[in-house]
Chain A
Amino acid sequence: MNQSMSAVSLESEGDDWRLHLNGDWSPAALARIEAQLRSIPDGLHGVLVCDWSQVQTPGIGPAWVLLARLDELGTSHLEIRHAGDPPHFLELLQKLRAGSHAAAAAPGESPGLEGSLAELGRWAVLQGSEARGVIGFFGSIVSVLGAAFSRPRALRPSSLARHVYETGVTAIPIVSLIAFLISVIVAYLGAQQLGRFGADIFVVDLVTISVLREMGVLLTAIIVAGRSGSAFAAEIGVMQLNEETDALRAMGMNPVELLVVPRVLALVIALPLLTVIADAMGLAGGGLLALLNLNIPLPQFISRLRESLAPTTFWSGLIKAPVFALLIAMVGTYRGMQVRDSARELGRLTTVAVVQSIFFVILADAVFAVLFVQIDF
């Protein structure tokens, strides 16, 4: 049959109407059929006969769309009949249509002042329960650690070792590389500025203090947040989706003890060690640039380094590492434990874990900075 022929054509028969349905009525023609059905004028009266005799491949979807359009035309003024060997499923569709019609038309809520107030209240309650959840989570970690005093096995040494390896040892190359490069950049740019005053030698002070106090630990924490914080959230999240954590609970084991505490402890151990490595690589980078770019020989670099260091410089950086580790690990594992239901939740909460742990690390760093100035550390 001619493809360009219209799928629907309306013809008047006295007071009545005849709707000729033609040609391809398979789902592939849906868009065309839909457009032509819309061209049927509203406000018809009398009897409308749908003539199926010219339809070649009747599809369920198009037939349903036709019935929907006929319903729209209004059944009060218009009596609809089907003729010309309608498809076998038409009766079923009409029955379903009648059923779904009754179920539809549920009134929607109107969003007014009341609605937005309710929204605000819901948000506040959500924040409150979230805060309670975080505190409860922290409490359960502490209680596991407390119990570990009388039962050291609760610390799961083998699991702890695996996580120290995964979060610490395997991160050494990337942490070293980044610490080295960043300190080279700082030294290089610093030398440009200090050279104008003939104060090249202060590049050593610049590199030493910035790397040891701030950049070593901060860069390491951010890298680890990206690597391990996301891994924690994803690992525990998938276990949540598979009901593995429920299985552990059902067997009388505590998922916090098995999954959370080893990861938190491992990161608290690994991050300070990584920080020491980052500090060393940063100083090495500064020393290399001083030698190559500023012609400061290594012995002079080291003696200047000793002079510039206060006794607390190294420790003021390192002391922050366990705190950052705690924040990263707790945010990662907490978000992982929150995963419910779907793959999308897993992705969302993994992202949240990384973003929040970096945010908390920087916030904590700011607090430390103010604190150290105040107590003159």
Chain B
Amino acid sequence: MAQGAPASTLRVRGLVSRFGTQVVHDGLDMDVQPNEIFGVVGGSGTGKSVLLHTILGLRTPQGGSVELYGKDVQQMAAADRSGLVRSYGVTFQNGALISSLTIAQNIQLPLREYYPASEKTLDELAELNLALVGLAPDTGKKFPSQLSGGMVKRAALARALALEPKLLFLDEPTAGLDPISAAAFDELLLYLHSQLRLTVVMITHDLDTLFRTCSRVGVIVDGRMISGTLEDMLRNQNPWIHEYFHGPRARARAAAVPGAAAAPTENNG
């Protein structure tokens, strides 16, 4: 990735989010460069999900701007927005698969909406997306309630990939998975990232995932975001960040971190 790369894929400036008198974001800035895996970290109640909802346009912030591919999400006309929605894929924390549809129908749902094609082709595309996330073709005939937690996460990822996005938003993709499934998900994500050249924004609390996959990390502290590479974070003296990356659970991982990942170093504290 070149240092002088074009505009950021995602650019948030001065974001303010309030619920009544409670201020969640107070001038939050965030930049995601093309083709990186960006991890968003923060304590409970620091507004990680609020940030995601704001970026996706599901929530109107009290101030600030969100730009995706250089276009302001809030200022956008409805017609442009529908085109924008197709350019990214989202997985929600609990999968959010439609429970009355089979997995294959879930994957075909956005395809049917946007790209008319024959049933045979739709079946083939469902099979493709299942294969991409490492699920067997007969998984498509099952209903979400018949799948295990790990399979639900993969199926949700398959649905997010259906429209061939360049940008993926993942909300806690490994939460609730056993370490083996979570590690397998990490590998899957890295594999898809390299093969499909995806940009990934991931909210996660899983330190293993963070150290394994993310090229840069943004930590939400006091309503603002401090971002940088993992090495920057390990050196950061902010009490919360220090506690997070040097706590008892993190110490073991930190010892195992390989050399700095090749990623642009941008440290806006």
Q: Which residues of A contact B (CB under 8 A)?
A: 27-28, 30-31, 34, 59-61, 64-65, 68, 88-89, 92-93, 96, 99-100, 103-104, 106, 340-344
- Alpha-carbon gap, A27 to B161, bound state (A): 12
Do B128 and A342 touch (CB < 8 A)? no
A104 (CB) vs chain B CBs: closest residue = B137
Instruction: Judge whether B19 is part of the interface by a CB distance below 8 angstroms.
Output: no
Inter-chain contact B99/A344, CB cutoff 8 Å: yes
Q: B-side interface residues toward A, CB under 8 Å?
A: 99-100, 111, 114-118, 121, 124-125, 127-128, 131-132, 136-138, 143-146, 163-164, 195-197
The one of B115, B136, B144, B197 in contact with A88, judged by C-beta atoms closer than 8 angstroms, is: B197
- Please give, as numbers and ranges, the residues of chain A lying within 8 Å of B195 by CB-CB distance: 88-89, 92
- The answer to whether B124 and A27 touch across the interface, beta carbons within 8 angstroms, is no
Least Cβ–Cβ distance between B196 and chain A, in angstroms = 6
Cross-chain pairs A/B with CB under 8 angstroms, 26 sampled: A27-B111, A28-B114, A30-B115, A30-B121, A31-B115, A31-B116, A34-B117, A60-B128, A61-B111, A61-B128, A64-B125, A64-B128, A65-B124, A68-B124, A88-B195, A89-B196, A93-B128, A99-B131, A100-B127, A103-B136, A340-B145, A341-B99, A342-B144, A343-B100, A344-B99, A344-B100
Cα A100 to Cα B139 in complex, Å, equals: 12
Residue of A nearest to B132 (CB): A96
A27 and B99 contact, CB distance less than 8 A: no
Q: What separation, in Å, do the CA atoms of A222 and B100 have in the docked complex? A: 30
Q: Which of A60, A104, A341 has the most CB of B within 10 A?
A: A60
- CB of A103 within 8 A of CB of B121, answer no
The distance in angstroms between the C-alpha atoms of A340 and B100, with both chains bound, is 12
B146: nearest chain-A partner, CB-CB: A341
B residues within 8 A CB of A99? 131
Contact B127 A65 (CB under 8 A): no
- Residues of A close to B114: CB separation below 8 A: 27-28
A88 to B197 alpha-carbon distance, docked (Å): 9
Contact (Cβ within 8 A) B164 A61: yes
CA distance A341 to B87 in the complex (A): 32
Report Cα–Cα, A96/B130, bound state, in Å.
10
Distance in Å from the Cβ of A204 to the closest Cβ of chain B? Answer: 54
**What is the CA–CA distance of A59 and B100 in the complex, to the nearest angstrom?**
29
Bound complex: CA of A99 vs CA of B132, how far in Å? 11
Bound state CA distance, A89 and B117, in angstroms?
Answer: 22
Question: Which B residues are CB-close (under 8 A) to A340?
Answer: 145
B124 and A64 form a contact (CB under 8 A): yes
**Residues on the B chain within 8 Å of A93, using CB:** 128
> Of B137, B145, B163, which is within 8 A of A27 by CB?
B163
CB of B145 within 8 A of CB of A60, answer: no
| Residues of A contacting B100 in the complex (Cβ-Cβ under 8 angstroms) | 342-344
Closest to B98 in A: A343
From the candidates B121, B136, B138, name the one contacting A65 in the complex (CB within 8 A). B121
